[in-house]
Amino acid sequence: MCGVFLCARYTKDDSSSLSDLCGRLKHVNAARGPDSQDTRRISVTGSDDVIALDLFASELRLRGNGPVVQPHEQDGNVFCWNGEIFDGMDIALQENDGVKLFHALNGLNTVDEVSDLFGSIEGPYAFVYYHAASQRLFFARDPLGRRSLLIHRPSLKNPYFLLASVCAGSDSSCEFQELETEYIYCLELRDLLNGQSMTTNFDSSFISFPRNSAAGLYTQPSRVNTALPPNDWPLITGLETPDYLTQTVDDLINHLNQSVELRVRNIPQSSGGIGTARLAVLFSGGIDSTVLAFLAHKHVPFDEPIDLLNVAFENPRKVKLGTVGNITKGQKKPQKPVVNPLPLYMVPDRVTGLQELEELRRLCPRVWNFVEVNVPYEESQAAYPAVESCMFPGRTVMDLSLALALYFASSGKGLVRDHSNADPVQYTSPARVLLNGLGSDELLGGYGRHRTAYVTGGWESVIEELQLEIDRIPSRNLGRDDRVISSHGKETRHPFLSLSLVSFLAGLPVHLKMDPRAETGLGDKMLLRLAAKKMGLVEASSRKKRAMQFGSHSARMEGEKRGDISI
């Protein structure tokens, strides 16, 4: 995980206010990469103008054996990289993927070659690359938008061009938007050197190059299979895998296991030293996070802890209603009492998290640090300015409730217990890599709207809805989540959103993934539930979907508000 920032402007437009803005943006992007930060300044000179480029990058080193300082620079070319390459490029254990990718870029000369290179690699990324010979500036996000990159286009009021992984919140000096993911973008700097204003010339110099799907495996998410089930397709009645689904269940386990392995292996030792956790899971006790924790266990040394980050909020409205600690509709009653001297934080996700902790301990002997991240009401309120700044340009009530949960969970600060009856001790997770289960609902039919689609329009409507889910992934939550989590110098990885796994799941006929005719907790994400049961995760396999903001009680602290209302 790294922070990327670029400012391009005519030198005649330099001002103290712009300098102050750049200072603020460098500061917030430095938090994403605490290991090193640096800036390169380049002057692009024409007959009438000089364009100054400031390229800044911070580094959270998670690949390679040696220290890495960004921006990368060679022969006048400059590269700022915020990403991870998990497939498509052979990277040895001791190598850094950003360094190797930069070397590959330096051997290219055309726009198509640049586009083809990025179409051949799989992983989350955002980058900025200045090619000196052509005076071109390339930049893009990966096709699923798993890394944030914000863009400010020149205006009459603010006549400069900015790119940043994260901004400093709402600011009259800039109008940031999320960069779209469909294209590789190029700014022809030489075309701006004609004596006119950057605002006048910008649109004609700003070029969007479609990703060449014929040249690479990883240019765009796959389309959903439109095959319909036979009229006599059997109704799923339980979580014992029927013969006709055995191979598909095995294939899902293998694909997901490989995705997890690629994302948890070879993580550098944390600052806590040998024997401390290098990996954490954003853990609610739901099926998604539990399956990821179970598979991560297979690929992390058994003598090393894995941290399970479980967040709970003091919610005055819930406390007043007396619902904290109660069993919610559809939630199983614990087989034995959960011992916890902090009933204020026994929110639904804490209850299910503790239940799944016991299941993991039975199936996967190791140290599981269940980190109780307890957030007092006053503390959550005091964090609003910082969280709103990170999540910007997200500005809705739902953005805030989700961002709050991620902000505190990813801090890793909480309590741990050796066993359920033990006294808690203060603990801060040293893990820099966090696994996130986002993506399974979109790919496997886990939302209530998928069942509604079936009721209103049959299997055809379900297929249409699943395609919309994939189409919306790049523009919904990922950029916001990346900005919030990375403010703690942590990196989130999404095993369900490997483009390889997305391709596998999108290619399956819909009736092999879900059965909207069956009851909730069975037909939704049916294929994942069957896989979890086959792996031995009996309790997790039947757990019903619960949104993070409601499971943690980060939402609706003051009363009922629609999630799409602006804050």
How far is the CA of 506 from the CAs of 198, 439, 468, 512, in angstroms? 43, 12, 12, 11
CATH code for position 190:
3.60.20.10
Are 390 and 488 within 8 A, CB to CB?
Answer: no
Contacts of 422 by beta carbon, 8 Å cutoff, 6+ apart: none
Name the domain count of the chain. 2
* 11, burial (CB in 10 Å: exposed 0-12, middle 13-18, buried 19+): exposed
Q: Are residues 10 and 106 in the same domain?
A: yes
SS (H, E, C) 353-383: HHHHHHHHHHHCCCCEEEEEEEECHHHHHHC
Q: What is the rounded CA–CA span in Å between residue 110 and residue 454? A: 47
**φ, ψ for residue 545 (rounded to 5)?**
-65, 135
Neighbours of 13 (CB within 10 A): 16
Task: Say what the alpha-carbon torsion angle 407, 410, 413, 418 is, to the nearest 10 degrees.
Answer: 140
The two tokens of residue 360 are: 């993991």
Contacts of 93 by beta carbon, 8 Å cutoff, 6+ apart: 65, 266
The two tokens of residue 157 are: 């009021």
Residue 2 falls in the annotated catalytic set: yes
Q: Are residues 202 and 276 in the same domain?
A: no
Helices (H), 280-414: 287-297, 316-321, 348-363, 377-382, 384-391, 397-411
Q: Are residues 199 and 269 in the same domain?
A: no
Q: What is the rounded CA–CA span in Å between residue 539 and residue 362? A: 12
Q: Are residues 199 and 331 in the same domain?
A: no
**DSSP secondary structure letter of residue 46:** -
Neighbours of 509 (CB within 10 A): 16
Amino acid at residue number 113: E
Q: What is the rounded CA–CA span in Å between residue 539 and residue 302? A: 23
CATH code for position 451:
3.40.50.620
Please tell me which residue in 2, 22, 186, 390 is annotated as part of the active site: 2
Q: What is the rounded CA–CA span in Å between residue 487 and residue 500? A: 28
Q: Are residues 171 and 299 in the same domain?
A: no
465 within domain boundaries = yes
Q: What is the rounded CA–CA span in Å between residue 105 and residue 108? A: 5
R_g of the chain computed on alpha carbons: 24
23 within domain boundaries = yes
Q: What is the rounded CA–CA span in Å between residue 302 and residue 306? A: 9
DSSP, collapsed to helix, strand or coil, labels residue 61 as coil
- Using left for φ > 0, alpha for ψ between -120 and 50, and beta otherwise, residue 164 falls in beta
Q: What is the rounded CA–CA span in Å between residue 390 and residue 165? A: 10
What is the pLDDT tens value at each position of the chain, 567 positions in all? 789 999 999 998 889 999 999 999 999 999 999 999 999 999 998 877 899 999 999 999 898 877 889 999 999 999 999 999 999 999 988 889 999 999 999 989 888 899 999 999 999 999 999 999 999 999 999 999 999 999 999 999 999 999 999 998 888 999 999 999 999 999 999 999 876 778 888 999 999 988 876 567 899 999 999 999 999 999 999 999 999 999 999 999 999 999 999 999 989 887 677 789 999 999 999 999 999 999 999 999 999 999 999 999 998 887 777 666 555 555 555 554 444 557 889 999 999 999 999 999 999 999 999 999 999 999 999 999 999 999 999 989 999 999 999 999 999 999 999 888 889 999 999 999 999 999 999 999 999 999 999 999 999 999 999 999 999 999 989 999 999 999 999 999 999 999 999 999 999 999 999 999 999 999 999 999 999 999 999 999 999 988 889 999 998 777 666 667 777
Q: Are residues 285 and 158 in the same domain?
A: no
225 within domain boundaries = no
State residue 13's pLDDT score.
Answer: 86
How far does CA 459 lie from the centroid of its chain? 30
Q: What is the rounded CA–CA span in Å between residue 375 and residue 93? A: 39
Q: Give the domain range for residue 56.
A: 2-210
Q: Are residues 272 and 204 in the same domain?
A: no
Are 444 and 514 within 8 A, CB to CB?
Answer: yes
Q: Are residues 203 and 267 in the same domain?
A: no
Amino acid at residue number 411: S
Q: Are residues 185 and 322 in the same domain?
A: no
561 within domain boundaries = no
User: Which of 526, 4, 2, 100 lies closest to 287, judged by CA?
Assistant: 526
231 within domain boundaries = no
Task: Say what the alpha-carbon torsion angle 384, 389, 390, 392 is, to the nearest 10 degrees.
Answer: 120
DSSP, collapsed to helix, strand or coil, labels residue 50 as strand
238 within domain boundaries = no
State residue 338's pLDDT score.
Answer: 46
Q: What is the rounded CA–CA span in Å between residue 514 and residue 443? A: 10
221 within domain boundaries = no
Strands 183-188 and 206-210, bridge-based pairing:
antiparallel
Q: What is the rounded CA–CA span in Å between residue 313 and residue 143? A: 34
Q: Are residues 193 and 293 in the same domain?
A: no
Strand partners, 6: 55, 163
Contacts of 532 by beta carbon, 8 Å cutoff, 6+ apart: 287, 290, 291, 540, 541
Q: What is the rounded CA–CA span in Å between residue 461 and residue 451? A: 10
State residue 337's pLDDT score.
Answer: 43
Q: What is the rounded CA–CA span in Å between residue 200 and residue 215? A: 35
The two tokens of residue 485 are: 């989590």
48 within domain boundaries = yes
Angle ∠(429,424,435) on CA atoms, nearest 5: 30
Q: Are residues 161 and 258 in the same domain?
A: no
Neighbours of 36 (CB within 10 A): 16
Q: What is the rounded CA–CA span in Å between residue 217 and residue 212? A: 10
State residue 201's pLDDT score.
Answer: 86
Q: What is the rounded CA–CA span in Å between residue 411 and residue 387? A: 12
Strands 77-83 and 72-74, bridge-based pairing:
antiparallel
Of the chain, the end-to-end C-alpha distance in Å amounts to 29
**DSSP secondary structure letter of residue 36:** E
Are 30 and 3 within 8 A, CB to CB?
Answer: yes
Q: Are residues 249 and 189 in the same domain?
A: no
Q: What is the rounded CA–CA span in Å between residue 526 and residue 524? A: 5
